[in-house]
Each structure stands twice: as C-alpha cells, then as structure tokens.
Structure 1
Amino acid sequence: MISVVILTKNEELDLPRCLESVNWSDDVHVLDSGSTDKTVEIAYLYGVKFWENSFESFGKQRNHALDHLALRYDWVLFLDADEVVTDEFRAAIIHAINNANSDVAGFYCCWKMMLEGRWLKHCDNFPKWQFRLLRKGKARFIDFGHGQKEGEIVGRIEYVKEPYLHYSFSKGWSQWIDRHNKYSSQEAVARLHALPPFANVFSRHGSVRNPALKSYLSRIPGWPILRFIHAYVINLGFIEGIPGLIYCINMGYHEFLIQIKMRELKKVHSASRHTHAKRIVQTER
C-alpha cells in the first residue's frame, strides 16, 4: 500500500476534506509545524499519526518526514492540506506502483486548480508537474523558490497523468495574497541567485523545465503582462469566466512582485559591491 504524509500549519478548514480523501490508506501521517488552531484536534479525531517539526522549508520538511516518521510502506505520497485525492487519482497511483519496475524512484503528479468550484484548466497551464509520489530510500527533495523539487534520485521518475484536486483559494483571497507576497520574496531570491542552466528550458520534465523558464522569463521587461496575456488569451483562460479572470490577474501580479523584488535585490547587491570596492581602494591608498 501507500503511506501518506500531509504537511500542516493552521489547517483546520482544509484538513478534514484532505483526510477524508485518503481514508483508503491505513498509514496516514500529519506533520505539523506549530498550529495554533484546531489542526491537532482534527488529526487525532481522524485517528491518524501526528508529528511536529519546526518548519524551515518545504524541501527540508519533506526530507524530515522521510528521515524521522515511522512510515509503514515503501511508497510515500506527499500532500498539502488543501489538496484532495480523487477516486481516479487513487486508482492511478496504485496502478502505477503495482506496475513500477525496480528502477523507478517515484512519479511526477499533477493537479486540477480549483476556484469557486471550477477547474482552471487553461488559466493554470495544466498539467503542471510536481514530484509527490516516491519510493522510500530512492529520492530526496531540495528547495527552489517557495517550494521544492526532486533532489538526489536513485533511478528514474515516471508520470501519473490522472490529477488530484488543489484548493489553493479555500481560505480566501486575503490569505492567498498575504501568502504569495511572502512566496514572491523567496522566488525572487531563487530566480536571481539560483539560476538553472539554460539547457533546462528544453528539458522534457516539467519539474526541471518550469523553474528554468520562470527564472529566465522573469528577466524580460513586461513579463507580468505577458504572463497574463499568455494565460488569459493565448491559453484560452477567458473561457473560464470570472474565476479565470481573477486568477490570471492575480498570477500576473504575483510575477510583478517577483520582478520588482529581483530588481531590488540587484540594487542591494550592486551597492554592496560598490561599497566593498571603495573600501579596497581606500585600503590600498
């Protein structure tokens, strides 16, 4: 079977729905990072295993789960509390692991972005791939931007093409905007100082290609506007109604925040270099 790990912090709103969607597994773990709401109570109410660890980053938190949680099975599915496993996705991942060769380290998975009960297939550039299902001992995570991607891999990664559901806006737009303001700072640092090789832009793996594309496109003047036009017009996001328009505007704004924070970081770095050079000249005199 499959062990399930759900990362949480103050997820009393979303956690019940997530836990109900994985009641087919007899090894569900909630890894919490300091919740002050009813998240802990909900985890115990559903009878799942509960763990705590201070949050540093998504990559480190997932690696902590692999290293320290008493996971019963060789295969591990990672979820966030605002994600839901459908019957079709469950069937797809079970079929995938039952038919996986010994050299398969894990699987990329994709999601349906849901807003106001609607799947934003066009606006969200479906499918987007994340490394979420892995064979224990065969894979690690590394951080990139506000999220994570696969790190050290022993073997190869395949794909589960049936999506799960992602309710990123379940706590309202105010919470989403606050969260993405923080995320934009992390993305700015990653895209500026952890620039992937240009060859990654042409990778067949979305998990490798997308970070590279974002890093290079962020350097184009007017990229936030282009991001909106691509999603809303070229990708036919306009057929997804008002939810699609709202989503595309906010994703363009998110890219705008990243771009101006990258610009700010460059100025700080340039000023620091100038000050350092000036001190060297003064010392030589």
Structure 2
Amino acid sequence: MPREPLSVVVTTFDNAATIGGCLASVAFADDIVVLDSGSTDGTREIAARHGARVHVQPFAGYSAQKQAAIDLARHRWVLLLDSDEAIPAMAAERIRAALDTPQAAGYMLLRREWVFWRWQPERARLNHYVRLFDHTRARMSGHQVHESVVVDGPVQRLDAVIDHHGERDIEGRVDKANRYSSLQVRDRHTRTPRFLRTRMVFYPAVAFARYYFWRGHWRGGWAGFVAARVHAFYAFLKYAKLYELRRSGGQRDSGTVETERGDE
C-alpha cells in the first residue's frame, strides 16, 4: 500500500532568516504551502525557490491564519510547522514511516528549543504538540495564543523531534511574553479567574520552579535560568493584565498587540 501523501503547511511574516532552513528540511513532502501575511523581507521569494505554493492574506490571528493555511493543503495528511522550525533527518524518516500505515488521526511530535545561545540540555523535558494529522478530522482550537490542533480521533506520540530556533535573544523573548500575555487576556476576559492578586504574588514563583527544576532547564546553565525568569515574568503579566482589566470594569482594550508573526 503506498504511503499517504503529505502536505507541509507554514504561516509566515517577515521570516526570511529562517524560512529557507524550514522548507529545506521538508523537501521530502509532496506539497508545501506557505500562507504569508504581507512580508516585505523576501520571505515569499525564498519560499517559492523551495517549491512552495505561496499564498497571501491579511493576518487573521494565529489560530485563524493557521486554519486558513491548512485549508489550502492538497492532501489529507498535514504537517504543520512554524517558520522557525525544522525537521531533522531522523524525524523525517519517522514521519514517513508513520504515513506508510497511519494508526491514528493525529500524532504529537516533540520539540527541542534553542534557548538564547544554546540548545536546551538533552535531559530537559521536551514539549510535545499535535503537528502531524489528518486535516479532515482536525481543526485549530481558535485560541488567540497557544492555539493547538484539536483532533477528532485517536492521537499517538511519535518519536520525532522538531528543532525550534525561536527567539535568539532576551529582548525577543521578553517582547513575546508581553505580546502573548495581552492575547491571553483577550481569551480569558470573559472568565476571569478568582484570587487574581494572590495569583500575581505566588504563581510566578510556581512557574519558575516548574520550568527551571521540574522541566530540567537548570541543566542549561545561565541560559536556562534566564529563560525560567522570563517565563515567570510572563506568568505574572497574564494575571496583572487581567487584574488591570477587571479594575477598569472590562472597558479597556487589553492592549494593542502586533501579532502579524509567522512564528510561535
């Protein structure tokens, strides 16, 4: 029985620095779709040189933009990537093997993070996300941020690791924390959690401990420590902005957020 054909789907916005490596790593795919939201840095030209079908539409939000890109796929099976991710050779082999005889409606892939100036330590916990799926049985969750693929059917974990190059410096990671915390306020403003002041005081410490100790980033030296501190700051911002919104009676906008980004 022939292998199921694969469409790779990527959303972009001014990602010329990373899109070439991303698309080169998925040259094994049968179809590559890039949905761009108005790049001016050559992203679309680079994508076209790698054989991608390039489409353009205004940015509609992370979840909606990705869903629009998925809808452009020619094949049932989709591999959804961010523009700053890449598929190593071993992961490519395992993805192809899974598509020989798919045993699930979706597969979770692990993701290795570049943390400022080094890869996360080998023994640190890897995040995992549904990225390979039958798109006729899946959809994006609809969240403003931290959107995910929701699958109607069984999901299995695939022993395949994505490389995520992410933010290259502390400034970029702090900017992302600020941007994402504002988007989370938009998701949560109708269901504000209780005890916001208590959460502001204590939850950042919990978030730091979870990231630094439980997930093992203490093994990453100062890069892991700085990343954990920024993660704790992000946890603080989420609740501080919700508290601000509640104090204003919910009348204020949660912030003007530039979200025309192709990466996560």
| Counterpart amino acid of residue 145 in structure 2 | H
Which residue is equivalent to 2:261? none
* Pairing partner for 2:231 from 251, 260, 279: 251
Instruction: Check 1:120–1:113 CA distance in 2 against 1; reply closer, same or farther (3 A cut).
Output: farther
Task: Give 1:114's aligned amino acid.
Answer: W
Percent same amino acid at aligned positions?
Answer: 26
The number of equivalent residue pairs is 244
Question: Higher helix share goes to which structure?
Answer: 1
CA distance in 1: counterparts of 2:190 and 2:126, whole angstroms: 27
Matches of 2:189 and 2:156, distance apart in 1: 29
Q: Among residues 118, 140, 152, which one is paired with 1:154 in the alignment?
A: 152
1:182 correspondence with 2:217: no
1:172-211 alignment runs, 5 A limit: 172-193=169-190
SS of 2:247 mapped into structure 1: helix
- One-letter identity of the residue aligned with 1:140: R
Alignment partner, residue 279 of structure 1: none
CA apart distance, 1:45: 2.3
1:206 equivalent in structure 2: none
Q: Hey, what does 2:127 align to over in structure 1?
A: 128
Q: CA deviation at 1:122?
A: 6.2
1:271 to 1:31, Cα distance in 2 relative to 1, 3 A? closer
How many Å separate the matches in 2 of 1:192 and 1:54? 25
Judge conservation of contact 2:7–2:78 (CA < 8 Å) in 1. Answer: yes
Amino acid at match of 1:242: W
Q: What amino acid sits opposite 1:76 in the alignment?
A: V
> What secondary structure, in the 3-state scheme, does the structure 2 residue paired with 1:137 have?
helix
Q: Which stretch shows the higher mean deviation, 234-243 or 46-55?
A: 234-243
Runs of 4+ in 1 over 6 A off after TM superposition: none
Unaligned runs of 5+ in 1: 197-215, 273-285
Q: Cα gap change, 1:38/1:96 in structure 2, threshold over 3 Å: closer, same or farther?
A: same
Alignment partner of 1:79 is 2:59: no
Q: Counterpart in 1 of 2:110?
A: 110
Larger RCO (CA under 8 A, 6+ residues apart):
2
TM-score (norm. length: structure 2): 0.82
Question: What is the RMSD of the two structures over their aligned residues, measured on CA atoms?
Answer: 2.5
- Asked if the contact 2:192/2:242 (under 8 Å) is kept, the reply is no
Whether contact under 8 Å (1:112, 1:120) holds in the other structure is no
CA-to-aligned-CA distance 1:92-131 (integer Å, 9 cap, x gap): 2222222324xx32122220111223225666xx232322
TM-score (norm 1): 0.77
